[in-house]
Each structure stands twice: as C-alpha cells, then as structure tokens.
Structure 1
C-alpha cells in the first residue's frame, strides 16, 4: 500500500475520532446544561411545593352552624322540640339507640347517640346523652351514663360557603379514617405506596398486566404521589412535559414529606364528584355527598363505591349511571375479598346491596339566604377573605325552630291579609332576637322562603311611623323632675310652619281631639298631637340624643315630622332600637355570629358579652310598663285574645297613607320586629295593628310566649295622681289614677280640685270599714 493511501486513511480516522470527540463533548455539555437546568427547575418546583404544602394547602369552605344549644339542670326544656331539631339535623328516631346519629324519645326522657363533633373545647367523640325532663324542667343529664350538670347538643350545619375556586371539601385526618378504607384505597390505586419513592416502574408494569388480563383498564400506573402532584399542582392535560413534571414533583414530595403526610393530603385532595357548580374534593365530603354520612359511618359497599369514584366520578356517577357504578363497586369488592380484606359473607352481603346513595344530589343547599347574607356581612367585618378560606367554623345564634315557625307564619298570614283587605304584592320582613344576648335567632327578608334576592330585613329603609314614639316618651321620662305618666299634654289642633313657611297640620289617626290627655295615654293610644307637643317641649335635639342612645347610628336631620316617624329605618335597625327597651335599659349589638374557630379549633373571634346602659333603670321600667299597657288596652289590645292573655309588650307603627305596617313586640325572652309593605311603596290598606301585629301574634303563639316578668326598681313608687291636673295627691282627692313614678320626682300636693266625698251611710261609717 502506498504511503499516500495510508496517510489518507489515518487522516480520515483522525477526523472521525475528532468528530466523535466533538459530539461527545457537545453531548456532555448539553447533559451538564440539562442537569443544571433540571436542578434549577427542581429547586423552583421544590419551592412551589413547599409554599403550598407547608402553608394553606386548600381553600376550604366556611362551615356555618346554628345555635349551640346548652342544656342545664333546672332550666326549661321541651323534649319534643329537641327531638324535632335532631330530625332536622339528620338524626334518626329509633326505639333504642345503638349507633351514632340515632335518638329515642320516651315520655320523660330523651336518649341521644350524639355524632362526633369538634366543639370549641376540643374534639368530642361519639357519645351517649340522656336528658330527663319533668314538667318542662330538666331534672337529670348524663353523658356516657355519667351524671353531668350541663351538656351541649350538636349544632345544625346551616351552609358551607364555598370559596371562589368552587372547591368544596371536608378535611379529615388519617386517624379519622377507617383502616378498611385506607387498605382498599392502597390496594386499588397504589399497593406499593409505602415501598416506592414517588415513581414505581413495578407498579406501572403490574397495572399493564392486570389491565391486559381484565381486557379493560382496572388499575392505573401512576402512584398516589404522582396523582397527588397532578391534582394539587398541575392541569389535566395529557402531554409528555406534564408527565415529566408530575414525576419530578412526586420525587420531591417523597423526599420532603412522610408517607402518612402524603396519604392524608391525597385523601383530602382527590376529586370525587360534582355538586352542581362546586367540585367535591376529598373522602370526607364525598361520604356526605353520596351517602349523607360521616366517613367513619360507611359500610363496606359504600367505601368500595367511594374508591370506585377515584377512577372517574363522571363516568361512574351513581345518580346518572347506576349500572356502571355498581359494576365498578363490585370489582373493588372482589379485589377486597381476594386480598382478604373481606370475608366471604361480608363480600356477598356488600355485593348484593343497593347503592344506598342520597335521594337528592344537591348537598347543603342554602335554605336560609336572608340570614346567611347577614352572616357573610359580619364575617367580612371580623376576618380577612384569605382567612375565611382556611376551613373555619362559624357558630351563630340561629334557631331552626324559630326560623321554621317564622316562615310558617308568613306563609299563612300574608295570603289571608291579601284576601281580607283586597291587596296584592304584600312583602314582609321579620327579625327575631334573643333579648339577653342580642343573638339573632331567625330572619325573614321576604315572603318567598329561601329566596336569595333583595333582603328587606336588612336593606329596606322605610318610614317607621309611631315606632319612634317610645324614644320621645323615654326622653321625657328621663327628666323625671318635669315629666311622669300623669303629666298633662294638649290634644288640640295645631299648625306648625317649616323654615320656608310651609304649613303642617298633623292629626290623630282617628281625626279626633281630646283636649287634654295624660302622658301615658298619649303613648298607649299612640296619639299624634300629644306626642308632637311633648317632643317640641323637650326640644328636637334632646329627642335626637335619645334616638341615638337607643342605637340608631346614622345622621339625623331633625324636624317636627320626625316625631311622627318620618325617618327611614330597616327592620334590623328598628330591632336594634328596641333592644334596650326590651332589655331593661341595657343593650348588646344584635348579631348573628357568636364565635369563629379555626380548622385547628382555635378561637379566632368571639362575641364579647358587653352590655351598654342606654336608659336609666327607672325609665326602662316605666317605658316597659307603658308598652305592656299598649298590648292590654291600647292600639295592640287584640293581643289579649290572640295570645290568650299571655303577658307581652309592644308598639304598633303605621306610616302615611297606610304604606307601612309595623309591629315590635317582646316577651321575657325574644324581641320580634315585623314590617309589612309593598316594594313600590303603594298603600297596603293595613295599620300596624291590622297587619304586622297579626304576624307577630301568629309566630308567638306557635313558638310559645314566655310571660313578661318585670321587677320594680327601688327608685319607683306606686303613686296617686289627680287626673285633671296631673299632680301627685293624697287619698282624700277625687278623680285619681294610680301610676308608677320615680320616687325622687314626686312632690305630693295637699290641695285637690275636688275632695273625695264619703258616700257611705251612717251605718257603714259606724260599723263598716
């Protein structure tokens, strides 16, 4: 071979080696760059994972609960009412209680197997309660057969306020889950979960073989950790890049967190169905969504159906596709049996059972939108929107029984009033408040129950008519040196002029003038002219101060017409105005929310039980006395027969042209504000006594009146007054009336217009008394 040929071959070899070297170097550099980029990207993913996983992982709905009913020895209680509340709360009535969620009602005793519930003082497990009542008084209480002085009943879940992302879930811990459910989940979805490091080639191969054998997809190749990464951080697109990202995240998750942490996260994250616009996430909520049960109450068949949903909640939807759901459930049950998680008897029983899902798909429909609007408004005042998405529990003063009776009264009375007075389009708003605490027990914002539109109880600002009068008379009674119940007020035609010279000639409702009346008669019979004279003599500014002291927070432009209620208030504001009157001069701010707990059961906010004295004790007693007279002989006297002579107090209110019908009434426990009117402000044909009062009476009759009991303060004395002069006099005077009055303001006159004539015979004088 010639030297030239050798040189050419050796040169070609060198060039070839040089090219391979360059390729190798380039590949090496690319590999290093790729590893570097992958490292940087992994650091980014790690930070993203840690931020989510170690912070607020999920936006969890606000859980709104009703009143926490606490029973104590010696207090009043009605077993049938408690039983009714239990049924509303999803408890089942049985002859003998054997499991959580059941109760048995006997003649004098109520046995309850209470479900687990996280009360503010820690986790409460399922426990057996016993309540014994004699003559409506609690005489014995026990928890798990141990006598106690008080016990707390599980509150009703009113609503779940779902966050903006429309994800709804109930967080559960591994300790709360049945071991059967965990074992079955791992069997179906990832049996090597506790042995791999996030990605399992063995699992992928096993799933492939099982799917080939079955002739269809019965097992997935992704680990639970990969599914968790996909559900928590990634979209559902099926691309290679997403799959690589999913694997990287799974490896990072396995490196950062324990298996138990990952499993618990998966159980709360997995998508398991669709409740209309809201997604159902996690096994905790899925148990309630499909079966109306807590997770630890599920049967084997129900657990199998839940796990079957992991593969495809839409495809295996038991409401839409029951055959598919049963087929998939039975496959899960068979695998459970084959892996010895079920006995043959349990397997056969489960496989033969029906789906036993809830009859209605909708979960936790908001049945009380008007009340919940108020809860939402208060919640926004107390907590940030971010904190509201952290699984908080909100406890309110809501009473389902009061709400139900309120709605029944509206449903019964409005059509009757429309027929009787030939009206149409009547609307209503009612507010029921606990006087002692200020908690709003029930609220109606319109005649249509469950309507989430305009809330008239909160947003309808209407003329309040004569409801303003107690504030004017309170301003007078606070000045006890000048005014008392016997003070004489003029009831004659008057003409007032505005600053522009416009004349105003107010009249009494009946168009009559009585010449003179006592101060108490002016209030009891709601007379306009005496009230105007009293207000003008007090001074409009002094009246405004009393209105504000009672709780009205807006700016007041005082003019004489305000004395007859030419002032706009919502029913909720009126309710607040009357709370100090019903509360013996003391008032708390009316509210729905009593306490807010975090997901960890920590108190985030609690209503402070602070009372402010708005009226003196003496004035509060006198005003309460007068309003009781209103219901006995005044404008609301029909309540004597409507309520069977039970003791209540209250005030009617009617605006010009009968556009607004009002009544505010109270017994010893509850204050009820009622408004009737039309949205277009047209006349209703109803006064306060013919309209709103009838709804109040209907509601109180259903709920049961707690008779008013008022103790006379030491500063009040029962005093004899001369009717014509209003002077405090002795028993020698004729034409007198007896009224309570402030002791310090009484100066007894020894002179009378007319002395009492002794009309007894001489025999009676000698031998009689």
Structure 2
C-alpha cells in the first residue's frame, strides 16, 4: 500500500513538473512574442515620435510683419515717427528703460530696450539700443549708435506684427525659442509641474509620490503626477481619452522622447505646445500666444503675478478661466506665488506686491487678431504671396516681412475719415475713398486705405475699384512729348481752339476745357499746370495714340487700351493701385520700380524663400523727367493744386489733380522727396459728387502730409539742362533780350535760338513810353 502511494506521488510530481515545464515554455514563448511585438510596436511609436518632432510639429499661423527698420550712421531719421511706431508695436515709454519692451525719448536721443526677435537668422536676444540724432539741413540724421553700450554701425528694430493667418485646424500659437522665455517663468513651471524634469528619464515614480503627498497635505490638487514629457506626449501625439492603453502609449513615447532629444529641446516644445485656453473657435497653444491672449503682452514682458497666473492655468484652462471665474483663478495664482516665494524665486516685498495685486487680464476675451485691423493691406500681401511663392511654399509657419508702416497707416485712415466728415456733410454715408502711400525710391507700399471705415474687410477700393482717371493721364502725354526735346520744350505753344472728332459710331466728340474757355494758344507748361484739355488732346494726337498707349503699358498697366482721342483725357479705367504705379517714375526722376508689399519671406526652418530686390530701371531720359517734374511742382504753386501753397505753407511738393465727367471721381496724386500718395474720392453708385480733384482728394493728401511732415522735394538738375529765355508769343528760345519773355529750364542741345525779336515784340518795344523804357 505504501509502495503504491509512493509511486502515485512520484507520478503526480512528474506530471506537475511536466505541466510546469510546458507552462514555462509557453510563457517563455509568449514573453518572447510579447517582447518582439513590444519591440516592433516601440519602433512604430518611435517613427511616429521622430516624424512629428523633427518634421512639422505644428500647423503654425503665417505671421505677417511690417517693415524691419534699419538705421546706420548718417541715415535720415524722424524720432517722432519712430516713437509712434514703437507705441503701436506695443512698446512702453518710460523715463529709464530697464527691461525689454520699454523706451525713453528726448529731443536728440532715443533709448530702446528691444525685445528678443528672430529677424531671419535666428533669435536675437534683448538689446539696449541708443540712437543719437543731429539736425542737418532741416532734417534729423543718425549721429551715434550703440548696442548694449558698445558702438555699433547699424541697429535693427523689431517690426510690427500685422496679423497671424490661422491654419484650418484652428490652432493659434506664437512660437517662442527657449532662450527668449524668462528664466523665472521656466523655474516656476518646473516647480509646479515637474521639479525633477532634468533628472528623470521621462516618467517619475518619485514625482508621482511627491505630488500625491503634496496634494493630500494641501487638501486639494496643487501638483500633477505626470512629467512634462508625458504632458508633451499627451498634447502632441495622443487624444485626451482616459484609458489604460493611452497611458501605456504615453509612458513609452515619453521614454522615447527622452532618449532621442535633449531636455532643452523637450522643454522648448512643451512651452510652445501646452494648451492654455480657448479663444472662441481657436485654441490657445503655447505660452507665447497665451501671454498676448490673457495680458496683451509678449512673453518677455510678463510680471511675476502674470507668470504665476499662466502656470496656474495649465491645470485646467476651462476651470481657471479668468473672465468667468476671477476669484478661482486668483486663488490658484496666489498658491503658485506662495510656492515661488518658498523657493526664493521672489523676495518678500515682491511676493506681497504680487499676491495683493488684482488679476491684470485684458478686459475682453476677444483678441485684436479676431478682426483684422488692416484687411486692405493684408489683401495685397496675400495676392503678392501667391505671385512669388507656390502653394506648397506658403506652408505653415512662414514669416512674411512687408513694407507696412503702422504710423503711416494710422495717419492715412485718420486723414480719410476726418476729411470725408468735413467734406461730405449730409452726403457722408454716400462718399467713399481710397488711398495708397508708397516709398518713391523703392516702390514699397507703406499704407493702404480701401474704405472710409477703418478696418473694413469688404470691397477694397484701393485695389479693385476701376474708375476713369481723368486728367491724371496728362503727365504721360507731356513726358512723351518732352522726350522729343528738339520738337517740344516747356515754352512750346499749343493750340487751344475748338476741335471735334468724328467717332466710329458717327458721333462727334468735341472736348472742352474745364473753365469752358478757349485761350487760343498756351505754352506746354501752362497747359499741364492748369490742366487744359484741348491743348492736351492736340499734343497727344501729334505724339500719337499708339505711342501714348505703349508708354502707359510700359508703366505697368497691363489691360487693353482702346485707341481713341478720349483716352487722352483719361477715359481709361484704373484702380488707385494702378495709378500709384503709373506715377512712380514721375516722382523718381524717370526710374521705374515695381510697387510691392512683400520684402522677405522666411520658412519655419529659417530658410529664405523670397527676397524682394529693388532695381530701378531708367525708363525715360533724366532731362524729360526733370522737365515734367518741374511742371508738376508748379501745379501745386500756380496750377489746379495751388491751394497746397497755403495748406502746406512753404513746403515743396508736386502733384496732379484729376476730375472726371460730372465730378464723379475726385483724384489727386502728390509727392514730396520721399513719399508718393494717391487719393481717390467718389461714390460706389457712380453718381456725381460736389468735388473736383482740388476740392476733394487733394484735401486728404494735404491733411496726411500736414500731420506726417513734408520732406521738401530736392531738384537735381541733369546734364544739358539750363535756364533759357523764351518769347511768350512764339515759344522760340532767344539769344537776345526781347520784350514779353519767360524763362524755363530746357534741353540746350540743338535749340534753334532766335537772334532777333519777333515783329510783335519790336512793335511793342517801339510803343513803350520813356517811363517803361527806364523802369522796365
């Protein structure tokens, strides 16, 4: 019996060992398979981690900036304009700048504590910039430059952020590099969210225990158990589902991120990825945008209490919404401030000041970017981008630098609104306007107004409204004639007598002067200055309609032109943008430059995608250009724009008025030594107004120039131009003294000088009394 029992026991042991062995083998195989599967799955997750982290991490808004201002020794500068631009860019004027975003100004010096900014070659840290100016020939010029108290040959200023064009996924963010984030903000973030960040490998059991203890001691949640790396994984790669599988993925991907990338790279990614609120349909991601969203500041300008607020909001952006739960947010902020004080990030005085301060969030949740402030200008930017970049190049995160001037734009809008209010009266709701301000030498467009209402995002009249240009066409005709200097000079006489033309449809066209009079004969100079129609038509027919049309096309107008005499009086339709392009060579000594708004485009990786290069091309002779410019300057002193002689007293400008039939369109194009400005007034329904070019559009130009400041036109007399006496009743150049003469600049090559006075002059000379002969 005992032997049988022993035998059964042995068999049972053998069976158990066999089952255990089989189980061990099974589990070994299963473990092997699990390891293999885990390895492959880890490789899959690794590829996913690398693809996004090293590729396009975020659908970042396209950022559109204004002009990057650069100053070198000897450059012209206007401190008041610079001050206004700084204020509009968000800088604060103080007595003694001590931190980025502040500046101080005196009559001859400006000190700017420039904020960190990436101008295209990597982030540049905060710098204290000093600019001294000296007065030279009625103009301020840079006399000294320093950067951080060291002499410099050039300084570069932060441009104005016009807008961010948000991608389709509705995620708005402002990318900030780690070195531009205040150190105190980073320390506070790590203190509250992950104080072992620089010591763990992606997951931190010790951190979980510490957070649990701190939360139990405080009686509420004040610290999170997840590491920053885990939070980054959750935000960047995973959904917000609370499942075990998601937590497993989170842990593996956190370990992979820690293995592949440095702590600073991960911290920078977190700074730009963390979800911090909701702006209507758009999420607020990253501290860069959150600083603007909550406080209207850049991240470098945040105060201690504002840093504490942002770090506190991370725990629950909806729960800690300051516009809905002010006391809840303040309580959370004060808790973070207490932790900062305990860790000696704050002095006692700073802590008490911060904890007793109110929440300083903006009054309204609505960001400025919700409603574009300058939609008319942005329309030009988008149109030009589509011309210089392919759709694939207009990718997420590109940074577009333009020629936009916030101060010029502000003054242009104010000038339009103020003058329309004073001009229109009861008609104000009907009268509309458009205006373009551009730089003469570069063609850069600095401001665009497409509607009388500031910020209106509808029909852009500056770009899209095609209206008859009236007398604005005349300088093209006169310049074309003056190129033939052996045939035409400013003193050349033109017939001003009734004329008529039979049109193709059998109708007869009989042009008339605006004053309804005929002057028999007038000089080419006076005809342009006083904008006479009949002499202009006679001159244009002599030069040739086809030649005039060719010049118009050469000046940038790319639409068809019907060759008929009425084109000589401006029956051609153009937008203010096209007119502005047409006039650039008149203001730039005959040199053509193409109007543009985009100067530079940089990819999210810092690669230059496009750089605009201004290359002036001499389209016309310097002599003919000078003579035309001379006449257009006289338009503002004795011609149709002579009111500028008192509106802009003692200032030297040039320009041309334009008025169409029944005063439907009021035009003025004017320029000083730096800016070309085109203004149009009229009604959208094309009904008549009460204004000519001189009584309407000119007043807007004058208002703008009065506020901006005129830089007097400078005349460079080209070779072969000299002052010549012309006989007024014949238009002949004289080599002798005669009666009834006038002096004009003229091309002196091949002039058919007269060596005797005309018979009329001789008779007049004989009839003069002894008193007239003695005193002239």
* TM-score, normalising length: structure 2: 0.90
The aligned runs of 1:532-551 (5 Å cut-off) are 532-551=537-556
Residue 116 of structure 2 corresponds to: 116
**Equivalent residue in structure 2 for 1:555, among 556, 560, 566:** 560
> Which position in structure 2 is the counterpart of 1:199?
203
Q: 1:353 aligns with which of 357, 380, 399?
A: 357
CA distance in structure 2 between the partners assigned to 1:177 and 1:424 by the alignment: 49
Residue 155 of structure 1: aligned partner: 159
Give the paired residue count: 767
Check if 1:464 corresponds to 2:469. yes
Equivalent-residue separation in structure 2 for 1:750 and 1:180 (angstroms): 88
What SS is found at the alignment partner of 1:285?
Answer: helix
Q: How far has the Cα of 1:670 moved from its partner? A: 1.0
Q: CA distance change for structure 1 residues 353 and 386 in 2, over 3 Å: closer, same or farther?
A: farther
Partner of residue 131, structure 1: 132
SS of the residue aligned with 2:408?
A: helix
**Alpha-carbon offset, residue 231 of structure 1:** 0.9
Q: Distance in 1 between matches of 2:375 and 2:512?
A: 41
CA deviations 1:100-159 (Å, max 9, x no partner) are 333333344333333333445762532142424457534642423444455343333332
Residue in structure 2 matching 1:408, options 394, 414, 417: 414
Q: Which residue of 1 aligns with 2:42?
A: 42
Match of 1:62 in 2: 62
The question of 1:431 aligning with 2:431 is answered no
Which deviates more from structure 2 when the two are superposed, residues 77-86 or residues 451-460?
Answer: 77-86
Q: CA deviation at 1:635?
A: 1.5
Matched residue of 1:728: which SS? coil
SS at match of 2:723: strand
Where 1:427 maps in the other structure, the secondary structure is: strand
Q: CA deviation at 1:585?
A: 0.2
* 2:222 paired residue number: 218
1:435 CA displacement: 0.8
555-564 or 170-179, which deviates more:
170-179
CA distance 1:335–1:387, change in 2 (3 Å): farther
2:317 to 307, 313, 319: 313
SS of the residue corresponding to residue 132 of structure 2 reads: strand
1:675 CA displacement:
0.5
| Partner Cα separation in structure 2 for residue 466 and residue 30 of structure 1 | 91
Asked if 1:671 corresponds to 2:676, the answer is yes
C-alpha separation in 2, matches of 1:176 and 1:125 = 8
Cα 1:41–1:429 shift into 2, 3 Å: same
Task: Say whether residues 1:167 and 2:168 are aligned partners.
Answer: no
Task: Determine the C-alpha separation between the residues in 2 that align with 1:125 and 1:363.
Answer: 26
How far 1:256 moved relative to its partner?
2.0
Change beyond 3 A, Cα 1:595–1:226:
same
Residue in 2 that maps onto 1:658 = 663
The aligned runs of 1:254-653 (5 Å cut-off) are 254-339=258-343, 341-342=345-346, 344-365=348-369, 366-389=372-395, 391-419=397-425, 422=427, 424-599=429-604, 603-653=608-658
TM-aligned CA distance change 1:145 to 1:244, over 3 Å: closer
Quote the offset at 1:430 in angstroms.
0.4
Residues 732 and 755 in structure 1, CA contact (< 8 A), matched pair in contact too: no
Cα distance, 1:383–1:729 mapped onto 2, change above 3 Å: same
Cα displacement (A) at 1:81: 3.7
Q: Partners of 1:337 and 1:718 in 2: how far apart?
A: 80
CA contact (8 A) 2:202 2:229 kept: yes
Q: SS state of the match for residue 760, structure 2? A: coil
Deviations 1:351-386 (A, max 9, x none): 333323334444443322211222222233334455
Shift of 1:270: 0.7
Pair 1:51–1:589, CA change in 2 (3 A): same
2:705 match:
700
- CA offset at residue 444 of structure 1? 0.7
Q: Deviations over 1:743-765 (max 9, x none)?
A: 22521234624243156777998
2:771 and 2:47 mapped to 1: Cα distance?
A: 109
- Bigger drift between 358-367 and 325-334 goes to 358-367
CA gap 1:334/1:445 in 2 versus in 1, 3 angstroms: same
Structure 1 residue 235 corresponds to structure 2 residue 239: yes
Distance 1:714 1:342, change over 3 A: closer
Look up the SS of the partner of 1:748 in the other structure. Answer: coil
Question: What's the Cα RMSD here?
Answer: 3.3
In the alignment, the residues of structure 2 paired with residue 101 and residue 741 of structure 1 have an alpha-carbon distance, to the nearest angstrom, of: 54
* 8 Å contact from structure 1 (residues 77, 133) kept in 2: no
Deviation at 1:457, TM superposition (A): 0.7
How far apart are the structure 2 equivalents of 1:113 and 1:76? Answer: 21
Compare 400-409 and 165-174 and name the one that shifted more: 165-174
Instruction: Give the structure-1-normalised TM-score.
Output: 0.91
Pick one of 659, 682, 685 that aligns with 2:687: 682
Change (3 A) 1:511 1:8: farther
* 8 Å CA contact 1:663, 1:689 repeated in 2: yes
3-state SS, counterpart of residue 542 of structure 2: helix
The 3-state SS of whatever aligns with 1:622 is: helix
Whether the 8 Å CA contact 1:474–1:546 is kept in 2: the answer is no
Secondary structure of 2:676's counterpart equals strand
Identify unmatched segments of 5+ residues in structure 1.
none
Superposed CA offset, 1:251-290 (max 9, x none):
3222322223222211221111233443222223323333
**Structure 1 residues 389 and 327: alpha-carbon distance in aligned structure 2, compared to 1, 3 A threshold:** farther
In 1, are the aligned partners of 2:493 and 2:523 still within 8 Å (CA)? yes
Give the match's secondary structure for 2:749: helix
Cα offset, 1:524, TM superposition: 1.8
Separation in structure 2 between the aligned mates of residue 139 and residue 10 of structure 1, nearest angstrom: 105
Cα pair distance change 1:347/1:732, threshold 3 Å: closer
- Alpha-carbon distance in 2 for matches of 1:646, 1:346: 54
